[in-house]
Homo-oligomer: A and B are copies of this chain.
Amino acid sequence: MAKKAKQRKLRAKSNAREKESPKQIAKKLEAIGKEMVTDIMKGRDPEFKTQLRGRSNVEFDEERGILILGDKETSRNFLNVGHARKFMQTVMVAAKTRDYLDHNKTASIREIYYELKHTVPNSKENTFDSQTESDSCIVDLEHSIDSIREKLNLHANPKGTLYGDITLRDKMHQNDKFNCAKLGRGGWSIMSRIEPEEIEIVKVNAKYVLVIETEAMYERLVEERFAQKNKAILVSTGGQAARGTRRLVHRLHAEEKLPVIVFTDGDPYGWYIYSVIKQGSMALAAHSDFLACPDACYVGMTLDDVETFKLQNVTEKMKEGDIKRAKEMLDYPWFKNKEWRAQLKKAISEKIRIEQQALANKSLEFVATEYLPKKIKNEEFLP
Contacts and interface: CB of A to CB of B under 8 A. Distances in A.
Interface in A186-224: 186-192, 199, 214-216, 219-220, 222-223
Contacts of A254: none
Interface string A88-132: 000000000000000001111011101101110000001000000
Interface in A4-36: none
Contacts of A139: none
A170 B157 contact: no
A357 interface: yes
B199 A219 contact: no
A166 interface: no
Contact of A185 (B172, B186, B357): B172
Nearest to A96: B364
Interface stretch (A42-50, A173-181, A269-277): A173-181
Contact of A216 (B108, B216, B220): B108
A184 interface: yes
Contacts of A314: 114, 117
A358 interface: yes
- Tell me whether chain A's interface is mostly helix, strand or loop, or mixed: mixed
Contacts of A157: 214-216
Contact of A115 (B169, B176, B190, B361): B361
Nearest to A183: B178
A161 interface: yes
Which of A108, A214, A364: most chain B Cβ within 10 A? A364
Given A215-B158, A314-B114, A182 B189 contact: no
Contacts of A351: none
A84 to B, nearest CB: 21
Report how many copies the assembly holds. Answer: 2
A313 B118 contact: yes
A235 to B, nearest CB: 11
Which of A186, A190, A314, A357: most chain B Cβ within 10 A? A186
A119 B183 CA distance: 41
A114 B190 contact: no
Nearest to A362: B115
Which of A111, A188, A191, A358: most chain B Cβ within 10 A? A111
A13 B238 CA distance: 37
A199 to B, nearest CB: 7
A363 interface: yes
Contacts of A105: 223, 364
A159 interface: yes
A52 interface: no
B192 A184 contact: no
A360 interface: yes
A168 interface: yes
Contacts of A358: 114
Which of A111, A161, A168, A184: most chain B Cβ within 10 A? A184
Contacts of A118: 313, 361
20 contacts: A107-B364, A111-B364, A115-B360, A115-B364, A117-B361, A126-B313, A155-B219, A156-B216, A157-B215, A158-B215, A168-B184, A170-B184, A170-B186, A172-B185, A184-B191, A186-B188, A186-B190, A188-B188, A192-B215, A192-B216
A-B residue pairs, 4 tightest by C-beta: A170-B184, A108-B216, A111-B360, A189-B189
